[in-house]
Amino acid sequence: MPPQPTLAGTVNRPGRSFSLESAAFVRLANQIRPFLRKWTITVADRLHPRRIRISSALLLAVCLLAVSAARGQQPAWLRYAPLPQTSQAAWAKIPPAIVNLDSSPTAASAQAEMLRGVRSVLARTLRIESQLPDEDAFVLATPAELRAAFPHYDPPALGPEGFTLATFFSRGHTYWLIDGADSRGILYGAFHLLLGMARGENFAAMQGPDSPAAPIRWTDEWDNLNGTIERGYGGRSIFFDSGQVRADLTRAADYARLLASLGINGCAINNVNADPHLLTPEMIPEIARIADAFRPWGVRLALAVDLSAPQTIGGLDTFDPGDPKVAAWWRAKADALYAAIPDFAGFVVKADSEGQPGPSKYGRSPAVAANVLAAALAPHGGVVMYRAFVYNHHLDWHDAKADRARAAYDIFHPLDGQFAPNVVVQIKNGPIDFQVREPVSPLFAGLRQTNTAVELQVTQEYMGQQHQLVYLPAQWQTYLDFDLHAIPNRATPLKSIVEGRVFHRPLGGFIGVTCVGLDDNWLGSDMALANLYGFGRLAWNPNTSADTIARDWTQLTFNANPAVVSTITRVLMSSWPMVERYTGPLGLQTLTNITGSHYGPAPQSQENNGWGQWIRADHTGVGMDRTDSKYGGDGTGFIGQYPPQVAALYESLATCPDNLLLFMHHVPYTYRLHSGETVIQTIYNLHYQGAEQAADLVTQWQSLRGLIDPEPYNATLTMLEYQAGEAIVWRDAITRWFHQLSGIPDAQGRVDHYPNRITAAQMQLQGYTPVDVHPWETASGGKAYVCENRDLCTASATVTRPAGWYTVAVEYFDYRDGVSTFDLLLNRQTIATWSAANNLPGNAPDGDTSSRFTLRGVPLRPGDVLTIQGHPNGGEPAPIDYLSIEPEPNAAAGNSQP
């Protein structure tokens, strides 16, 4: 691969990023800007309903994006890269033929996939035979079909949807069997073989039986009929557009293939904040088209339903689940759905939660509501996934005993044993809402006569929204492995409960809230695909380690070069603990804007509202006291919802792990952790560590230059550069906020003391004026500087540092609307140009939009003048915060000084 051009500057624009790579580029930008600025074009983007303005800068960006768009739809882990010659030897004896003894569409997909994969990985084309050939061959079949072909074959016992890979000798030939317990098993066996082959494994190593841990392995997509996706960061819906099912469902079929390759067997296609219109007679045939696209891949379609549908679209005067008319309506609806979709999987229900209507309106319990739906689905074999995410978001903050974390257990535990056999209670991993760290929900141990499934969030709502790299299997593993001690003297980790093994439940499993979109890389970031892959692997076998998953994903997505595999695995595995450090350590949860974007830092937003994600921080201490009176505590009693052994662990300050301390206890800032350090100093230290680690990830990634394909290399480098800047934004905001609140200084004197920064307030300004920033801690002195009612504003600073090489960074704000452009001048020379073209979730200067432009290797001398030129665009007034001038490590004496 050719070496990359030297970067003149990097715009931290995750996902679709571009680098301003040469002086020529900067010159070109400067030359064409005056012409292009004159004719700003406004377009209504069909794909994105908001109007976007194309300015000169965006036009430049569009040109560059066209390059990345040329990558096309990403194959993700199904790249089937050719095996290097050395690894091909293990497959030298591959059979020349393939026969499929099973007539299902799923087995047909398995055969087609075998042809595609073998051709791509080994450059061999298998000959398709219609019956067992008189030569070596792959044989795709169920045990019964194999016994018919080979009366002496003794298939091993398999769980549903499992498979065995084996060789069988007969008639002087070797048959390579893909023996599926059923047609899905055949397909999963084929993928298992191909993905092993693509990773360089040989067939002998893969042989043996394998079955999924649990029957329910679904993704939930939160797509809306208008084509948007709640908490989706990968573009528009692959299913819906403008109130209709898309005409072209190619992406839906391709997605089903991706899911099948991991053994995922169900997909709920719409937002749990469900639109009742999906259930209208006109929509059902349309939805059936999606089910048709899924079917060849063994993925069953499910729908999220609004419990008020019998009234809103059914014309009834009630949706009371206790009313026989309502039950009859659901029965008729289920019959109509199965008439159109014979393999319909069932309903997902969000009710009495965040404004969704529910049975509480009629004084009915979730069990009554779930059972009405269950009765309608039962004759057809469907299931109801009833979400335990039921809570009051109008809690009284002044009530020290009020606690959102208690809600699911308080509501569902008394109903244990009342749910129909085809109801599964779908429980988020933690008691709050996909925070950077939470304890495992106690409800998993509280429902013993009820089927349960764990809901994990693949889409990174609270963890960077795909603008940042966070490898979630590392987090999920800690949840799945957590021993709830649900039965005395027996290990009962969460994974074994949802597998149904602990309480002997027939149904249960794993749900991943995924929210894929039409973007080429499905999720909005190449690296986020590791999370979808990891979810699938854990859903199949929750005993697989996050590290193994990271290695396998890296090999399949990039290549098997040991340096690549070890570096990317290290980057992935370190990312979640790192993000925890800079967002919300010690069990504080993600200290983000809870009433708004769920993205940038805004710790005060946790408090003083009804949403209940409180951290109870005041001048003396911090943390929610969730201790229980039955153990002598005086808190909300949440801890008492756990089985005694877990409750004892959390109740006692002596045993409560530091990483959940502030979730469970309110302590003074001076309280000393098990580490011996105080709480406040640990908060400071961890935020600084997190930001340093984020910067280090950039360096680690740079070591991959030339070792992986340039497009994903560059896209991820840009994302990591942005993330390193965002980690600084988080670090500064959270440490400032705690510093002000506690009044306790950082022992290392770092907080809000940045000697390398020159704030806009300290610069010579032409046109820039200050505005207040909310929350104040997300900008220097609580102010941003904006360029309003002008085409151009400038902010200049005279360098007073010794001559040397410096990294110059500009902290600016990048609103969702408008694409301002910026120039950085050294004296009169333009040394960088960039545009604020990121898709960040905000239209104001704050922690959501604060962004950093970084230019390394700038030669500075005392008296030099650095100038930021801001060109506003649309609603974005080219806002700035500060300039940072950091000496570079290699600027030591002996180097040529500028």
Active-site residue numbers? 354, 433, 461
Quote the Cα angle for 352-355-360, to 5°: 25
Q: 3-class SS at 658?
A: helix
Q: 3-class SS at 162?
A: coil
Query: Could you tell me the smallest distance in angstroms from the CB atom of residue 271 to ligand GCV?
Result: 6
Nearer CB in complex with ligand GCV: 222/419:
222
Buried b (16+ CB within 10 A) or exposed e, 262-292: bbbbbbbbbbbebbbebbeeebbebbbbbbb
Query: Could you tell me the smallest distance in angstroms from the CB atom of residue 476 to ligand GCV?
Result: 16
Task: Please state, in angstroms and rounded to a whole number, the distance separating the CA atoms of residues 409 and 429.
Answer: 13
Beta bridge partners of 834: 822
Buried b (16+ CB within 10 A) or exposed e, 808-821: bbbbbbbbbebbbb
At 128, list the tokens: 């398709």
User: How many residues in total does the chain contain?
Assistant: 898
If we measure between CA atoms, which residue out of 384, 379, 287, 295 comes closest to residue 340?
Answer: 287
Stretch that binds ligand GCV, among 10-18, 266-274, 313-321, 776-784 (CB under 6 A): 266-274
443 sits near ligand GCV (criterion: CB under 6 A): no
> Directed axis angle between helix 105-122 and helix 250-261, to 10°?
80
Query: Could you tell me the smallest distance in angstroms from the CB atom of residue 661 to ligand GCV?
Result: 25
CB count, 10 Å around CB of 178? Answer: 29
Tell me which of 53, 71, 147, 231 binds ligand GCV, using CB under 6 A: 231
Query: Could you tell me the smallest distance in angstroms from the CB atom of residue 659 to ligand GCV?
Result: 23
> Directed axis angle between helix 324-340 and helix 283-294, to 10°?
50
Q: Which stretches within 403-464 are classed as H helix?
A: 407-412, 443-446
Task: Please state, in angstroms and rounded to a whole number, the distance separating the CA atoms of residues 347 and 556.
Answer: 34
Nearer CB in complex with ligand GCV: 272/617:
272
Query: Could you tell me the smallest distance in angstroms from the CB atom of residue 480 to ligand GCV?
Result: 19
Query: Could you tell me the smallest distance in angstroms from the CB atom of residue 201 to ligand GCV?
Result: 38
Task: Please state, in angstroms and rounded to a whole number, the distance separating the CA atoms of residues 199 and 210.
Answer: 18
Pattern 7-46, binding to ligand GCV, x per CB under 6 A?
Answer: ----------------------------------------
Q: 3-class SS at 314?
A: coil
Query: Could you tell me the smallest distance in angstroms from the CB atom of residue 428 to ligand GCV?
Result: 7
Query: Could you tell me the smallest distance in angstroms from the CB atom of residue 371 to ligand GCV?
Result: 21
Stretch that binds ligand GCV, among 12-20, 267-275, 542-550, 796-804 (CB under 6 A): 267-275
Stretch that binds ligand GCV, among 269-277, 329-337, 743-751, 890-898 (CB under 6 A): 269-277
Q: Are 855 and 809 in contact (CB under 8 A)?
A: yes
Pattern 344-383, binding to ligand GCV, x per CB under 6 A?
Answer: ------x---x-----------------------------
Nearer CB in complex with ligand GCV: 426/735:
426
Stretch that binds ligand GCV, among 93-101, 270-278, 375-383, 483-491 (CB under 6 A): 270-278
Nearer CB in complex with ligand GCV: 200/596:
596
Query: Could you tell me the smallest distance in angstroms from the CB atom of residue 433 to ligand GCV?
Result: 5
Torsion, CA 353, CA 359, CA 363, CA 369, rounded to 10: -130
433 sits near ligand GCV (criterion: CB under 6 A): yes
Tell me which amino acid residue 775 is: P
Buried b (16+ CB within 10 A) or exposed e, 370-398: bbbbbbbbbebebbbbbbbbbbbeebeee
Pattern 555-594, binding to ligand GCV, x per CB under 6 A?
Answer: ----------------------------------------
Nearer CB in complex with ligand GCV: 424/717:
424
Task: Please state, in angstroms and rounded to a whole number, the distance separating the CA atoms of residues 13 and 718.
Answer: 6
389 sits near ligand GCV (criterion: CB under 6 A): yes
Residue 587 Rama label (left phi>0; alpha psi -120 to 50; beta): left
Tell me which of 176, 222, 419, 853 binds ligand GCV, using CB under 6 A: 222
With CB under 6 A as the rule, give the number of residues binding ligand GCV.
Answer: 11
DSSP per-residue string spanning 11-25: E---SS--EE--HHH
218 sits near ligand GCV (criterion: CB under 6 A): no
386 sits near ligand GCV (criterion: CB under 6 A): no
841 sits near ligand GCV (criterion: CB under 6 A): no
Task: Please state, in angstroms and rounded to a whole number, the distance separating the CA atoms of residues 417 and 367.
Answer: 9
Stretch that binds ligand GCV, among 112-120, 271-279, 367-375, 872-880 (CB under 6 A): 271-279
Pattern 743-782, binding to ligand GCV, x per CB under 6 A?
Answer: ----------------------------------------
Residues 695-714 that bind ligand GCV (CB under 6 A): none
Query: Could you tell me the smallest distance in angstroms from the CB atom of residue 685 to ligand GCV?
Result: 30
Stretch that binds ligand GCV, among 206-214, 265-273, 406-414, 600-608 (CB under 6 A): 265-273
233 sits near ligand GCV (criterion: CB under 6 A): no
272 sits near ligand GCV (criterion: CB under 6 A): yes
Nearer CB in complex with ligand GCV: 218/222:
222
At 846, list the tokens: 């704050």
Nearer CB in complex with ligand GCV: 547/607:
607
At 324, list the tokens: 């026989």
Nearer CB in complex with ligand GCV: 141/348:
348
The DSSP 8-state label assigned to residue 45 in this structure reads -
Nearer CB in complex with ligand GCV: 596/887:
596
230 sits near ligand GCV (criterion: CB under 6 A): yes
Nearer CB in complex with ligand GCV: 457/838:
457
Q: Is 801 exposed, middle or buried (0-12, 13-18, 19+ CB in 10 A)?
A: middle
Query: Could you tell me the smallest distance in angstroms from the CB atom of residue 639 to ligand GCV?
Result: 23
User: Given CA atoms 533, 536, 538, 541 in this order, what sign does their dihedral have?
Assistant: negative
Q: Are 559 and 551 in contact (CB under 8 A)?
A: no
Residues 875-894 that bind ligand GCV (CB under 6 A): none
Nearer CB in complex with ligand GCV: 203/397:
397
DSSP per-residue string spanning 682-729: HHHHHHHHHHHHHHHHHHHHHTTTTTS-HHHHHHHHHHHHHHHHHHHH
Query: Could you check whether the bond before residue 775 is cis, i.e. omega within 30 degrees of 0?
Result: yes
CB count, 10 Å around CB of 528? Answer: 30
Query: Residue 426: CB partners within 8 Å, gap ≥ 6?
Result: 348, 385, 386, 387, 388, 452, 453, 455, 511
Nearer CB in complex with ligand GCV: 138/663:
663
Nearer CB in complex with ligand GCV: 350/736:
350
Query: Could you tell me the smallest distance in angstroms from the CB atom of residue 231 to ligand GCV?
Result: 5
The DSSP 8-state label assigned to residue 360 in this structure reads G
Query: Could you tell me the smallest distance in angstroms from the CB atom of residue 304 to ligand GCV?
Result: 9
Please report, as ranges, the residues that interact with ligand GCV according to CB under 6 A.
222, 230-231, 271-273, 350, 354, 389, 433, 461
